[in-house]
Amino acid sequence: MPIKIYKPNTAGRRKSSVQDFSDITRTEPEKTLLVIKKEHAGRSGGKITVRHRGAGNKRYIRLVDFRREKFDIPASVASIEYDPNRGARIALLIYKDGEKRYMLAPNGLAVGNTVVSSLQKAEIVTGNRMPLEHIPVGVFVHSVELQPGKGGQLGRGAGTQIQIMAVEGRFATLKLPSGEVRRVPKACAATIGSVSNPDWRLVRWGKAGRMRHRGIRPTVRGKVMNPVDHPHGGGEGKHPIGLKQGPKTKWGKKAMGVKTRNAKKATNVHIIQRRKKKR
What confidence category does residue 238 fall into, taking pLDDT thresholds of 50, 70 and 90?
Answer: confident
Q: What is the pLDDT of residue 193?
A: 96
**Same fold for the domain at 3-200 and the one at 221-279?**
no
The beta strand positions in the chain, using DSSP E, are 3-4, 18-19, 34-36, 43-44, 47-48, 60-62, 75-81, 90-95, 100-104, 114-115, 129-131, 140-142, 162-168, 171-175, 181-185, 189-192, 271-273
User: Taking the domain 221-279, which CATH number applies?
Assistant: 4.10.950.10
Encode pLDDT of 208-234 as tens digits: 999 999 999 999 999 999 999 999 998
Give bridge partners of residue 19 from the DSSP assignment.
3
Rounded percentage of the chain residues whose pLDDT exceeds 70: 99
Asked if the model's pLDDT at residue 167 lies above 90, the reply is yes
Q: What is the pLDDT of residue 278?
A: 66
pTM for the model: 0.89
When pLDDT is averaged across residues 225-254 and rounded to a whole number, the result is 88
When pLDDT is averaged across residues 15-23 and rounded to a whole number, the result is 92
Distance between CA atoms of residues 86 and 67, nearest Å? 18
Query: 186 near 170, Cβ under 8 Å?
Result: yes
Mean pLDDT of the residues in the chain: 93
Backbone angles phi, psi at 48, to 5 degrees: -70, 120
Secondary structure tally for the chain: helices H, strands E: 2, 17
Q: What is the pLDDT of residue 279?
A: 61
Q: What is the pLDDT of residue 237?
A: 86
Q: What is the pLDDT of residue 260?
A: 85
Count of C-beta atoms within a 10 Å radius of residue 13: 15
Asked if the model's pLDDT at residue 269 lies above 90, the reply is yes
User: Taking the domain 3-200, which CATH number applies?
Assistant: 2.40.50.140
Encode pLDDT of 100-120 as tens digits: 999 999 999 999 999 999 999
Residue-range domain boundaries for the chain? 3-200, 221-279
